[in-house]
């Protein structure tokens, strides 16, 4: 090894640290002793993560950057009168947290009550002087908290969302004590709203369809529900900036016009606050589609940056007509930075934004290969991918898990926006779709996102309505199902069984 003084470096201009510290470190570093057994590193074959190992086994010394870096689980507690959107928020937040990789589950006390009291008669159950009712409701809350404890301590859950009215300080105090005993952090999410129109709309959207009101006509149901709300009003103690100054909470006022945020303790609470401040309930639709069929698609090759085939261009034209017919107000159009999505957007003749993070999954060394070539050149990789398609990372490439992380800002902005058309790619579209339709990590990489098909997503009640619209332009199938045999030792034919036809 040649040593030239010019290649040594010494930042003479910059101030050195105080002598005592410098000498300690310098002497230590200069001693010619071998470092105390630096641990060997091995790269996990599935995720391509470097980790230390001993005696051939990986050691658990390191941690992957996960969202929930706190060791203690978090208990999110909703607060608010009926019909204030607590369950809507609970379900949405749970869906978001699970999507970004934080194991979350919601516990709806109303659900427990319905299981206990098989038939709902009327609002009288909720009257504050109905002792029997109160006892049952308390039992249900306890049962739910018990399940929360089990989920967070035995089932590896990281966040539990305790969805109930929790409108009195007394009730909240009970929960706080429960959390303290079990070492959970508590974060309250209160929804306050006095706008009668919003409340009415809530009731119509989600209460009328509730099991409580299946045999009720609309007017009676609404009347009963209003009386139900009244039962809570007198004892309602809203979160107070003085009385509750030591608690961690966010108070959402008037469906997001205003927020009061108190004592955010950690990263996950900060992310939750950011998410809650970006969601809205204004009606709108999100359109997801892939680029038109590309030259590489037709050849059965993955990745790359090719242009559209004639059929792909035909799709782009049909897409333009479709969009125009939909008569969408203020439509935003987003594409990736790859030629095929941009070419597709160009046909729409409207302004569009390019997002690099919408680029297709990076297949690393497998870019532009056919599945047959991957099987031939990297049979081990091909098998590992079939074993865990969500976590599998291509060598020098990405995994679906990586994709989700880079798509998070897209989801956040989609939440902020109203009508949007996202022209993207197969793996990307699967990730976005999984978020909206609450699909698990196992299902996500196998969601069907065919070429030349637009998915129109419209939020409704607690979920999302999906309309699949094929624009009637032929295209190759690029969907490869999971083959039966995912063993590393399998034969080529077994591996290639589910590869779709191509040129």
Q: Which of 106, 190, 314, 360 is catalytic?
A: 360
> Is 480 annotated as belonging to a binding site?
no
Stretch 421-460 residues interacting with another protein (CB under 8 A): none
Site string for another protein, 361-400 (x = CB under 8 A): ------x----------------------------x----
Q: Which residues contact 242 (CB under 8 A, 6 or more apart)?
A: none
Considering only CA atoms, give the Rg of the chain. Answer: 28
Query: With binding defined as CB under 8 A, does residue 241 bind another protein?
Result: yes
Distance of CA 396 to the CA centre of its chain: 25
Helices (H), 183-217: 196-202
- Catalytic site residue 267? no
Q: Minimal distance in Å, beta carbon 366 to another protein?
A: 13
* 54 part of the interface to another protein, by CB under 8 A: no
Write down the least CB distance from residue 298 to another protein, Å: 19
User: Where does this chain touch another protein (CB under 8 A) — which range of 62-70, 95-103, 153-161, 418-426?
Assistant: 62-70
- What lies within 8 Å, CB to CB, of 202 at 6+ separation is 83, 84, 85
Least Å distance between CB 382 and another protein?
Answer: 21
Write down the least CB distance from residue 297 to another protein, Å: 17
Residue 340 annotated as lining a ligand binding site = yes
The sign one gets for the Cα dihedral 111, 113, 117, 120 is negative
The neighbour count for residue 19, using CB atoms within 10 Å, is 9
From 291, 398, 425, 452, active-site residue: 291
User: How many CB atoms lie under 10 A from the CB of residue 5?
Assistant: 6
Is the four-CA dihedral 494, 495, 499, 503 of positive or negative sign? negative
Q: Which CB, 108 or 336, lies closer to another protein?
A: 336
Choose, by CB under 8 A, the member of 214, 282, 324, 349 that binds another protein: 349
- Residue 440 CB, nearest distance to another protein (Å)? 22
User: Based on the number of CB atoms within 10 Å of its own CB, is 165 exposed (0-12), middle (13-18) or buried (19 or more)?
Assistant: buried
Contact 198, 107 (CB under 8 A): no
Q: Residue 190's beta-bridge partner residues?
A: 79, 251
Q: Does 68 bind another protein (CB under 8 A)?
A: no
What distance in Å separates the CA atoms of residue 311 and residue 291, rounded to the nearest whole number? 11
Tell me: is residue 8 an annotated ligand-binding position.
no
Rule CB under 8 A: is residue 274 a binding residue for another protein?
yes
Q: Are strands 332-335 and 286-290 parallel, antiparallel or unpaired?
A: unpaired
Only one of the segments 178-186, 222-230, 335-343, 473-481 lies at the binding site for another protein (rule: CB under 8 A); that segment is: 335-343
Catalytic, 360? Answer: yes
Residue span binding another protein (CB under 8 A) among the ranges 20-28, 140-148, 323-331, 479-487: 20-28
* Residue located via tokens 């532009």: 368
Count of residues interacting with another protein (CB under 8 A): 82
Residues belonging to the binding site for substrate are 290-297, 340
Catalytic residues: 291, 360
């Amino acid at each position: 090894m040649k040593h030239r003084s010019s290649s040594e470096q010494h930042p003479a201009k910059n101030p050195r640290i105080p002598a005592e510290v410098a000498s300690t470190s310098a002497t230590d570093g200069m001693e010619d002793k071998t470092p105390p057994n630096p641990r060997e590193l091995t790269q996990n074959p599935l995720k391509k993560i470097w980790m230390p190992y001993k005696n051939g086994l990986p050691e658990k010394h390191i941690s992957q950057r996960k969202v929930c870096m706190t060791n203690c689980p978090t208990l999110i507690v909703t607060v608010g009168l009926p019909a204030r959107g607590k369950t809507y928020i609970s379900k949405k937040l749970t869906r978001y947290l699970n999507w970004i990789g934080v194991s979350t589950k919601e516990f709806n006390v109303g659900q427990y009550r319905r299981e206990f009291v098989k038939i709902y008669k009327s609002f009288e159950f909720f009257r504050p002087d109905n002792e029997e009712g109160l006892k049952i409701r308390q039992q249900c809350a306890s049962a739910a908290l018990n399940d929360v404890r089990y989920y967070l301590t035995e089932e590896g859950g990281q966040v539990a969302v305790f969805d109930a009215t929790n409108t009195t300080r007394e009730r909240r105090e009970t929960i706080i004590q429960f959390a303290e005993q079990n070492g959970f952090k508590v974060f309250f999410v209160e929804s306050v709203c006095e706008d009668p129109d919003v409340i009415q709309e809530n009731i119509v959207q989600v209460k009328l369809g509730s099991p409580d009101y299946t045999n009720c006509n609309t007017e009676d149901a609404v009347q009963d529900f209003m009386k139900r709300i009244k039962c809570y009003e007198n004892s309602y103690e809203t979160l107070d900036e003085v009385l509750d100054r030591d608690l961690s909470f966010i108070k959402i006022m008037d469906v997001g016009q205003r927020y009061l945020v108190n004592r955010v303790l950690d990263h996950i609470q900060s992310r939750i606050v950011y998410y809650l401040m970006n969601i809205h309930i204004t009606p709108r639709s999100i359109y997801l589609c892939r680029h038109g069929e590309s030259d590489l698609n037709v050849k059965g090759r993955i990745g790359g940056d090719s242009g559209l085939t004639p059929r792909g261009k035909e799709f782009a034209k049909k897409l333009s007509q479709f969009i125009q017919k939909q008569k969408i107000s203020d439509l935003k159009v987003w594409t990736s930075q790859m030629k095929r999505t941009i070419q597709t957007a160009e046909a729409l003749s409207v302004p569009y934004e390019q997002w690099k993070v919408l680029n297709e999954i990076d297949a690393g060394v497998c870019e532009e290969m056919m599945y047959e070539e991957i099987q031939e050149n990297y049979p081990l990789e091909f098998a590992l991918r079939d074993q865990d398609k969500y976590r599998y990372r291509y060598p020098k490439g990405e995994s679906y898990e990586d994709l989700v992380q880079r798509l998070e800002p897209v989801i956040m902005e989609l939440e902020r926006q109203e009508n949007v058309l996202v022209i993207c790619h197969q793996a990307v579209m699967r990730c976005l779709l999984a978020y909206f339709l609450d699909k698990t990590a196992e299902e996500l990489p196998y969601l069907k996102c065919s070429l030349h098909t637009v998915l129109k997503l419209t939020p409704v009640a607690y979920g999302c309505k999906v309309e699949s619209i094929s624009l009637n332009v032929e295209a190759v199938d690029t969907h490869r199902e999971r083959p039966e045999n995912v063993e590393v030792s399998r034969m080529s034919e077994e591996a290639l069984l589910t590869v779709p036809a191509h040129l």
